[in-house]
Amino acid sequence: MYLKLKEVIPFLENNNREDIIEILDTMESLLPLFFEEPFAVDKKLNEQQFLENILENYDNIQSNIKISGLIMVRNQEVKIKAAINSLKELVDELVVVDTGSTDNTISSIREIDTDKIKFYEYEWEENFSFMRNKIFSMTTGDWVIILDSDEVFTNKISYKVLKNLLGFVTVLTENRDVSLQIQAFYPNSSRFILPDRIIKKSNTVKFYGKVHEEPRSTTANPLKRIQSRISVVNAGASKEEVKRFNKESRYAKLTKEMIAEEPNNPRWVVLSKPDAFEDLGDKKYYENLLLQHIKVNKDKPLSKKNVNNTIYLKPLLDRYVLCLMNRSDSVVALKAIKLGKELFPNNINFIMYEYAVKKINIDIEMKCLLDNLLFDFDSLDQKKYVLESQKNDDFLKIIIVKMLISLGNYEKAAKIFNSISDPYALESLTKEKKYLNIEG
């Protein structure tokens, strides 16, 4: 669709052709799936009519757009400056709210040289959506960019480009509540999540959830989520930060409260962890909870026809497979993985799980073979086997070493390797010697 739109730009009766090309290039780069959404294009119009229709309103909307930034912070004296500095050039105003810092966070904020910051202090309440709604209402922009206090933007995107992008999206999503999802990367990792962080402000957008809060529209039309390639690095996902703020136990408690509050919403099940339900004494409780949201009919087998096709199906199925793998049910796991690959052919997780399960099965079989080999080895008549075989047991040890390496038991493999003295047997283990870091 982007290519088709670019092709008609020379025919437009508009003097801002270069700006339009830049906007489309930016959208193609940062919002690659945008024009795959059915709401984005009026099917009755051809590409030229479509662009001309947009441009009638675009100039006025783009020139008047105001962008707000929003950061909520507590005890981030080391990271808060980087967060603010990565956001301040992208916004017209930056609302920063401290929720009870006891370190030097507040003084660090006041050291930053910008007149865009509007600083407030509020007492923290253990309900993220309550706090988010409270401070979200303090912003005055048409769009609000939310950044955690331990995050920094990684895209080299300018204020002008972002404003053009949001102006175009505003025109295309008229009368809809909209959120752009960003890619929030784990530190030093290719893994990321897609939180709602750039939100078109309206009186009908509210946050829900005591933890992992999400924006929702109170209108008849649900909030429209658009995936973007705008990215941040989230240092808060590091083990150190998780431990420092006691996130695991706090978030587990709040997530369980949300499951009780909205039992039919799979979001809270997806965002919970199996160990959060250990106190119930039912090892399969979480697994059954996942199935409850995956299946249409709980009494029928899991199949392509018996799944709820919600936005949460992929992570639900992902977590279900992990549960099966953790309790070593490889048969059922492989069936669920096969379904996952059919429904989500471009998701590498299900490919990874398939071969992980098969590797586990190979290891189990290898362990059985090794046990049998050791039994046969121990059954040899020590007085007869050398004469009958015309060699010593070093040649059986070759296979034992190879099997132990395959199973990852390098320490035992090295010990047996070092007990081999026959040079012909050792020659058969030249490659294995490298794995065991044995010199000579």
Low pLDDT (below 50) residues in the chain: 1, 8, 11-12, 38-44
pLDDT of residue 3: 55
pLDDT of residue 382: 86
* Whether residues 77 and 154 fall in one domain: yes
pLDDT of residue 264: 96
pLDDT of residue 42: 46
- The answer to whether residue 331 sits within a structural domain is yes
Using CA atoms, how far residue 326 sits from 69, 127, 287, 336, 408, in Å, is 42, 32, 11, 14, 19
* Whether residues 71 and 126 fall in one domain: yes
* Whether residues 161 and 81 fall in one domain: yes
- The answer to whether residue 38 sits within a structural domain is no
pLDDT of residue 43: 46
Q: Are 321 and 338 in contact (CB under 8 A)?
A: no
Question: pLDDT digit string (tens) for 310-336?
Answer: 999 999 999 999 999 999 999 999 999
pLDDT of residue 40: 46
Parent domain of 377 = 357-435
Q: At what angle do helices 330-343 and 313-326 cross, to 10 degrees?
A: 160
Using CA atoms, how far residue 78 sits from 75, 116, 235, 237, in Å, is 9, 21, 11, 16
Domain end residue (candidates: 142, 175, 208): 175
pLDDT of residue 160: 85
Q: Which has the closest alpha carbon to 34: 155, 173, 167, 174?
A: 173
Number of domain units in the chain? 3
Collapsing DSSP to helix, strand or coil, 216 comes out as strand
Helix, strand, coil fractions of the chain, as percent rounded to 5: 50, 15, 35
* Whether residues 313 and 377 fall in one domain: no
